[in-house]
Structure 1
Amino acid sequence: MPTLEIATRFDWDTFVRRYWNQRPVLFKGTQASPFTVDDVFEASAGATQRYLSRSYEPASRPDVTFTVDRLRQLRSREWLPRKSDGSLDGYDARIASQLGERRYALIIATMHASGFQLWSRQRAFFSGLWQRVGMPVTGGITSLFHGTYEHSPVGVHLDRFTTFMFALRGRKRMRFWHKRPWSEDVSTILDYQPYLASSFVAEVEPGDILYWPSTYYHVGESAGAGVASSLNVGIPITEHHVIYSVDDLLRGMLDETSLADQEWKQTRLARVSASPLARGALSKNGVLATELPRALTEAVRAFRDVSHPKEARRHIQSTWLKRLTSGGFEPVPPPTREKPLRDSHHVRVDPSFPVLFERDSATRWICSANGHALRGAGGGRAIEIFFRKLNSGAAVSVEELLSPFGTRRAARHDSEVIAATREGMRGVLKKLHAVRAITLSA
């Protein structure tokens, strides 16, 4: 029967050589975890705000769920973390006052999209792994598991992801099977007591890192009194084909169910305005109309626009740059509000995560940072010097960066393209600051 290996030192070279996609390992007391409880609370409160700002179809899978005694709560607003809780401890106290001894589970997927500090630490930590095994083309996922639940609400299951668990609070037990322990034609089971003998367990405490490959069946269990919380990072390995990214390249980096309503309205494929109800499509004699309904005609036209070779090439280039600067974890946190930028200000880029710059034609260019991209035109060699100075790692004055650019507007472009004028490039710096790619000092 397989057993769990325990290590007391964490480094990526040893991890990749001994454990990556091979077998589970528990890293105890290494102080290597990039996550803090404060960052997790900030992201969970942000996830609540993001979740409540969106509408979902009944068949959709929202990324925030709450269960009480294994029953999923369809109306979960009152059970979710909010900024007024102040901390995870404050949240736990509020839930305990409402539920008493009843067991609950809070599960938040794509946590990295809702907290910049959490996402930033996560990107920095996993960059070491990507350097050794390659960055996942379709991106990793980050899920919070928090509560007093007896075991994972879905029971014993197999993931498509190779998984890292970062223990935050309380104690947890993960139970594993190297092979599927049951013979029934089902994908998960809740009653797994008959199969305990063939399993092995990992007892996980705050600060521990547990890793298991996607080939291991598993279930999370309660391992003590009180609330326990952990952050799981899954990296797509099994049954996750690159073909899944075709939609990304045509429509954008995110599936429409992941976008806030207002964000989805801004995408090009959402500009089809015709009613989905087709009048006169079928005559009284049962003969189909010779023309497509307006809604389908508009949809085909929109698809033709975004798939035009030149436009598609630019979109694919922009999408790939955003994916690279997201560090393998998308969607990325949204930008903050833009702030005024004076010539006397100094800006600095972390050289470990530079602003990527590429030309997409002789006069047009794209830059990307922290999972966001900007398209510009003009500027000649001054543009390349601008980004070279910006990525030097040194604090550079705004005046020095903008001095090569004139005030006359370049040739007219569409509204998404920034002209390489003095004020246009000031706008680039403001946007880079809003996405937290540059720090600002007087």
Structure 2
Amino acid sequence: MALPAKLDQKFWTGFARNIWEKKPLSLKNVQSSLSEISADEIFKLLVLFADRCRKLNDSEGFKFYIDGFKADPDEVLQVLPEKSDKSLLGYHERMKALFPDYCLVCDELLQVNHSKQHLLTEFTDQLYQHVGFPNRFSEMGLYLGNYRKTPFGVHVDSCGVFSFPVVGKKEFRLWSPEYVKKNPSLDRAFSYEKHKKHSQLLEAGPGDITYWPSSAWHIAESDGSFSATWSLGVWVDKSHQEIFSDNLKNFLSEKVVATKSTGTTAYKYRHSKLGEVIELPKAYQDSIALLQKLTTAELQEAFLSSWMKHISSQGFKTVPTGTVKISPKSRLSLRNPKAPILWQQSATAKNKIHLSFGGILVNGVKNGGLHKLVLALNSGESAVVGSYLKSSAAAKKDLQALQLLADAGAFSRGEAIL
């Protein structure tokens, strides 16, 4: 497969057909807007998230390894990047004076990726269009340090991984699942000299991209030089049956509610003298009667709402939250024109709609103020809230719904009008 000059439609068609979930790939000097997620940009994101962790006194989202050993959460807060480090290399200079071998891992940069999130969305939109939308999610991770091997050894994830080095050279050694099945000692191994000849080595530097499927066992290797690499992991470990079952369970739990649920089930006869079970308790019979009354429209609406809520996060584990505080004087526009607020017509109520962004689901009235405002924003307009939501009890509910969408990150910062 020829290396592409850019990630165009021809590339993605070939990738989906020949590479995705089949074999690794290494691309050199790729022309992509993802190059804007540079070492400087990654450093800014790290400091933003580290500042948040310090403010909350909680290092959740970071892991730190010293000579291969995982540091305690309280210790992690003491070694996170700071603005005074000025760059990834500046942070490395501070760390290498303390630790001869260290690795910093962060898997929550999506939470603070406000300015460059649209670049990830453009990349994943092309990917999903060709390979399908992930039933679980994609997440952005980061590994940096001078560690010689991945601190937890040879391992396999349940996600396909795209890696993007921004500092230094990165090497990944991979084995097929068939080989590891025959050689189980490779699991979490750090010493694997005799197995190297059966592995595949991927090498990458800034401007390059590597990919391996979810089934590939792998470990990162280094000569002890500093490197920083961010990655996009696409989790593919949830089947359609699982997601359908989950959605059905949530829907039925709202429909089938016992009037007197006490943790026990009343019954008339458990079984006959010969052990035959022939009669369902009344609670079961009542629930079956409720199921029999369900309509196709109700099921269609329930699953369409679940699907809309799922795709409203653009396939990511998290999306950057918003800080916009809504008032009638706020002037709003979408933060990302290519990430509209999704909506659907209710199948069971003609005047009702459901709206979603960032995994949040709210309700509105068809052709009501909120609906008209969303349509204007989705068409690329900048709109004043009060021009659509007039003072009324309905407008108050719409404002509350709009604030939930704002908190989920739908809008750029509002400007109050005087």
**TM-score, length of structure 2 as denominator length:** 0.73
What per-residue deviation string (whole Å, max 9, x for no partner) do you get for residues 294-343 of structure 1?
A: xxxxxxxxxxxxxx999999997665433212111112223225265527
2:167 counterpart of 1:169? yes
Distance 1:234 1:347, change over 3 A: closer
In structure 2, give the amino acid aligned to 1:151.
K
- Are the aligned partners of 1:157 and 1:219 in contact in 2 as well (CA < 8 Å)? yes
> Hey, what does 1:45 align to over in structure 2?
47
Distance 1:51 1:7, change over 3 A: same
Distance 1:26 1:391, change over 3 A: same
Q: CA deviation at 1:372?
A: 4.4
2:239 counterpart of 1:233? no
1:66 to 64, 67, 71: 64
> Hey, what does 2:93 align to over in structure 1?
93
Aligned counterparts, 1:121-132, within 5 A: 121-132=119-130
2:344 counterpart of 1:342? no
Structure 1 unmatched ranges of 5 or more: 57-61, 253-290, 294-307, 410-418
2:222 counterpart of 1:222? yes
Distance 1:328 1:336, change over 3 A: same
Distance 1:245 1:146, change over 3 A: farther
- Are the aligned partners of 1:139 and 1:330 in contact in 2 as well (CA < 8 Å)? yes
1:437 to 389, 410, 414: 410
- Are the aligned partners of 1:113 and 1:119 in contact in 2 as well (CA < 8 Å)? no
CA RMSD of aligned residues (A): 3.8
Aligned counterparts, 1:73-112, within 5 A: 73-74=71-72, 75-99=75-99, 102-112=100-110
Higher mean displacement: 79-88 or 147-156 = 79-88
Distance 1:330 1:317, change over 3 A: farther
The structure whose residues are more often helix, as a share, is: 2
In structure 1, give the amino acid aligned to 2:410.
A
1:10 to 7, 11, 14: 7
- Are the aligned partners of 1:171 and 1:204 in contact in 2 as well (CA < 8 Å)? yes
Give the Cα separation in 2 of the matches to 1:380 and 1:246: 31
1:136 to 134, 137, 148: 134
1:407 to 391, 395, 399: 391
What per-residue deviation string (whole Å, max 9, x for no partner) do you get for residues 406-431 of structure 1?
A: 4231xxxxxxxxx3x2x554555555
Give the Cα separation in 1 of the matches to 2:367 and 2:381: 23
> Hey, what does 1:180 align to over in structure 2?
179
Distance 1:324 1:184, change over 3 A: closer
Aligned counterparts, 1:151-170, within 5 A: 151-170=149-168
Q: CA deviation at 1:136?
A: 0.3
- Are the aligned partners of 1:364 and 1:375 in contact in 2 as well (CA < 8 Å)? no
In structure 2, give the amino acid aligned to 1:204.
A
Q: Secondary structure at the match of 1:117?
A: coil
> Hey, what does 2:274 align to over in structure 1?
none
Q: CA deviation at 1:382?
A: 4.8
Aligned counterparts, 1:284-363, within 5 A: 320-338=307-325, 342=329, 345=331, 347-348=333-334, 350-360=336-346, 362=349, 363=351
Give the Cα separation in 2 of the matches to 1:41 and 1:244: 38
> Hey, what does 1:303 align to over in structure 2?
none
Structure 2 unmatched ranges of 5 or more: 251-261, 265-290
Q: CA deviation at 1:396?
A: 3.8
Distance 1:158 1:379, change over 3 A: closer
Q: Secondary structure at the match of 2:20?
A: coil
Distance 1:244 1:229, change over 3 A: farther
Distance 1:9 1:380, change over 3 A: closer
Distance 1:201 1:6, change over 3 A: farther
Give the Cα separation in 1 of the matches to 2:121 and 2:15: 18
Aligned counterparts, 1:349-388, within 5 A: 350-360=336-346, 362=349, 363-369=351-357, 371-378=358-365, 380-388=367-375
Give the Cα separation in 2 of the matches to 1:250 and 1:82: 46
- Are the aligned partners of 1:168 and 1:230 in contact in 2 as well (CA < 8 Å)? yes
Give the Cα separation in 2 of the matches to 1:340 and 1:407: 11
Distance 1:378 1:15, change over 3 A: closer
Q: CA deviation at 1:436?
A: 4.1
Give the Cα separation in 1 of the matches to 2:17 and 2:216: 19
Aligned residues: 364
Give the Cα separation in 1 of the matches to 2:166 and 2:329: 42
Aligned counterparts, 1:16-35, within 5 A: 16-32=16-32, 34=34, 35=37
Q: CA deviation at 1:126?
A: 0.6
Distance 1:368 1:14, change over 3 A: same
> Hey, what does 1:200 align to over in structure 2?
200
